[in-house]
Amino acid sequence: MDSKIKIKIKRKTIYSCLVEALEQNGAKYIQLLKSDRKKLSVETVHQIRVTTRKLEACLELLDSLRIGHKKLTKDLQYVRKIHGPLRNIHVELESIKNIEDQVKAKAFKCFLKKHEKKCEKKLFSELDLISFEKQNIEIQKIKNNLLLKDTPAMNEKAFNAMEAQNLKLFLEFKKTKRAFSPNTPKSIHPIRIAAKKLRYQGEILRPAISFENIDLPQLKHLQETFGKIQNDNVLHKSIDKFLHKHSKKGLKSVIKLQDLVSREQHTLMALVSKMKVMSVPKTNR
């Protein structure tokens, strides 16, 4: 990517972009919560996690505009958190499914299925405590506040604020990339989250601001690659728990699975280590 980020003003305003992001993701989020209460599925659990991240990215942009959102952000973080354990189990089961032709880890799969049931039961009880009606009201309040501020003068100020926010987020992303180490598992998650924020906020603002030199698909690829590495870390922990509790049952197949996961992770680590860090962005109006 070039060292400069060229910007073009497009037709939509920054405030209208934020309103649109809240409307689309907010409606999807509420619908997913309703579906969750009826029946949990791999897709709804995954989409809840994605949609909450996108809403959080949108709300974070509001900090630059001094528009309050603490209550909604707190609720979104809680919903994302309670879906985490079940999402991890789903990813682990999917990972095993993808390599069943190489290893048959039936005992380990049963182990995960048992935990899946426990996670589902706990999540159902936690969902009962959530009022999606109140969250929907919060989304509408913020949206209405944005619409009131959608004036030429306010959008000029918002443009400057978004430039500053983009630079701040980019520097955060660069810092996490620099801190990444293949031998330090804890360095993986921060860069994945930083890439998500940079990508999601870029997608939200794209109809109003064109960051021509920022490659959003490349950010998505990096995010997904680090996601796979993180998923392997989660799978490793579950394998370790299984081996600790079941020292004999299914031992050979699970050790073979562990070896396959380690090899995949090593390949991915080598790949991301070669990825170049973008230069500090300089914007042109």
DSSP assignment of 26-59 equals HHHHHHHHHHHHH---HHHHHHHHHHHHHHHHHH
pLDDT in tens, 167-202: 888 889 888 888 887 667 788 888 889 989 999 998
Per-residue pLDDT, 254: 81
Residue 85: exposed, middle, or buried by beta-carbon count in 10 A (0-12, 13-18, 19+)? Answer: middle
Q: Which amino acid is at 251?
A: L
Per-residue pLDDT, 145: 92
Q: Which amino acid is at 70?
A: K
CA pair distance 126, 123, nearest whole angstrom:
5
Listed by start position, the domains of the chain span 5-280
Per-residue pLDDT, 104: 74
- Whether 264 contacts 95, CB under 8 Å: no
pLDDT < 70 stretches in the chain = 1-11, 101, 182-183, 211-213, 247-250, 272-285
CA pair distance 194, 218, nearest whole angstrom:
14
Residue 283: DSSP 8-state? E
Write out the CATH class of domain 5-280.
Answer: mainly alpha
